[in-house]
Amino acid sequence: MDEKVSELLDLTKKLLDLSKDIFGESLTPHESLERMNALYSVFLRVQMQEALRFGYGAYYSCYHGWGHGGIGAARSIYEILLDIKYINHDQACKDERFERFMDHRAEVRYRVMERALQIGRNVPQEKQRRIKNDYDLLKKKYKDKHDQDLKSGLAKADATPRYRSNNWAGIDTGEKVKEVNLEQFHQLYKNLSDLSHVSMRAVLEATRKDSENQIGASFNFHPNEKHCFSVLNVVFPCIYGILGEYMTYFGIKSSCYPTLEKILEDRGSLKNKPKG
């Protein structure tokens, strides 16, 4: 394995292990909090937990040289960071954005029900009606908010985003990325997205024209360190970003974890080190 990939693996594992320790040590009761604060507390803990699960999945795939196995996990970690950053970016909008995130459960339940019905599972009629009603109310709520904003004189760009299917924020991903300044990571995310699909590019790269009437094929079925490097370059900074949001919200001082600064310093030194 390439030395730089090996070092990045080691640093990623150290960050994951430390993040897991911080997460475990900070699990305190939240029952006494006001409802929305309690929900946000749960939201952030679940997001941290899921990021770590995906992070370890990506790490162990790359540890064994199978970078492809970590691509989906890295993309999911990035999406978690983007959601958290978008909710927290503007304190004036934070409550509204978090409310919107939680409202989106109505669509999630509806999509789950759709898939259940498609594969022949039984969903009682009363439950179907309740889920469908909640879903319709979700769409109407944000349509009404949007229309009311426009009637009050707000510019369309400033109005409450309307409901969009499979998109809780109601705006394009690119708009979210630009607002929270994650363009650098988003390019890496797009690169991983290209790798995660059996696309035209993959087919074209695998085929070659040997002669006028013959087609040859090139297949590489073996561990690919190139993908490991790409995966880890998303996983490390995104886990670090999620951890930062987590520690800030729960008032966890980085000075209590001096090894965190050392891990970050070592990562900075590694970035400046030539690969090869």
Domain extent, residue 133, equals 105-167
Q: Is the residue at 276 inside a domain?
A: no
- Is 235 found in the same domain as 221? yes
Bigger pLDDT: 166 vs 270: 166
Least confident of 49-63, 93-107, 130-144, 218-232: 218-232
pLDDT at 76 (0 to 100): 95
Residues 134, 52, single domain; the answer is no
Three-state secondary structure call for residue 255: helix
What is the share, in percent, of the chain residues with pLDDT greater than 90?
64
Euclidean distance between CA atoms 34 and 161, whole angstroms: 26
Helix 183-196 crosses helix 225-249 at what angle (to 10 degrees)?
140
**72 and 17 housed in the same domain:** yes
d(CA 39, CA 162): 23
Asked if 151 and 231 sit in the same domain, the reply is no
Q: Looking at 152, 167, 182, which one is the last position of a domain?
A: 167
pTM of the model: 0.87
pLDDT computed for residue 10 by the predictor: 96
Q: Read off the DSSP letter of residue 254.
A: G
When divided into structural domains, the chain yields a total of: 2
Query: What proportion of the chain, given as a percentage, has pLDDT over 70?
Result: 87
Whether 157 and 87 share a structural domain: no
Residues 26 and 82 in one domain: yes
Neighbours of 91 (CB within 10 A): 7
pLDDT at residue 217 above 60? yes
Q: What is the CA radius of gyration of the chain?
A: 22
What would the pLDDT profile of 62-113 be if each residue is shown by its tens digit? 999 898 889 999 999 999 999 999 999 989 999 999 999 999 999 999 999 9
The average pLDDT across 110-119 equals 96
Q: What average pLDDT score do residues 117-136 get?
A: 96
Q: Are 11 and 91 part of one and the same domain?
A: yes
> Looking at 46-60, 97-111, 178-192, which range is the least confident one?
178-192
CA atoms lying within 13 Å on the CB side of residue 211 = 2
Pairwise CA distance, residues 11 & 51, whole Å = 16
pLDDT of residue 193: 80
Name the residue among 10, 22, 16 with its Cα closest to residue 254. Answer: 22
| Helix boundaries (H) for the chain | 3-25, 35-63, 68-89, 91-103, 105-118, 125-151, 173-180, 183-196, 200-206, 225-249, 258-271
Cα separation, 276 vs 43, in Å, equals 41
Residue 21 has what pLDDT?
A: 95
pLDDT value for 220: 67
Inform me whether the pLDDT recorded for 30 exceeds 80. no
CA distance 86 to 209: 47
- What does the chain come to in residues? 276
Question: What pLDDT, on the 0 to 100 scale, is given for residue 26?
Answer: 78
Assigned domain for 222 exists = yes
Same domain, 204 and 135: no
For 104, 137, 272, 276, the CA distances from 267, given in Å and listed in that order, are 37, 47, 9, 16
pLDDT at 32 over 80: no
What's the mean per-residue pLDDT of the chain? 88
Q: Is pLDDT above 80 for 17?
A: yes
Rounded CA gap, 262 and 11, in Å?
A: 10
Q: Is 101 helix (H, G, I), strand (E, B) or coil?
A: helix
**Helix ranges restricted to H, 26-124:** 35-63, 68-89, 91-103, 105-118
User: 136, 167, 198 — which closes off a domain?
Assistant: 167
Res 33 pLDDT > 70 = no
Cβ neighbours around 76 below 10 Å, total: 18
50 and 176: one domain?
yes
Look at residue 36 in the predicted model and tell me its pLDDT. Answer: 80
- Whether 36 and 143 share a structural domain: no
Confidence band for 195, pLDDT divided at 50, 70 and 90: confident
Whether residues 267 and 139 share a domain: the answer is no
Identify which has the larger pLDDT, 190 or 48: 48
- C-alpha angle 34-38-44 in degrees, rounded to nearest 5: 150
Q: Based on the domain organization, do 26 and 126 belong to the same domain?
A: no
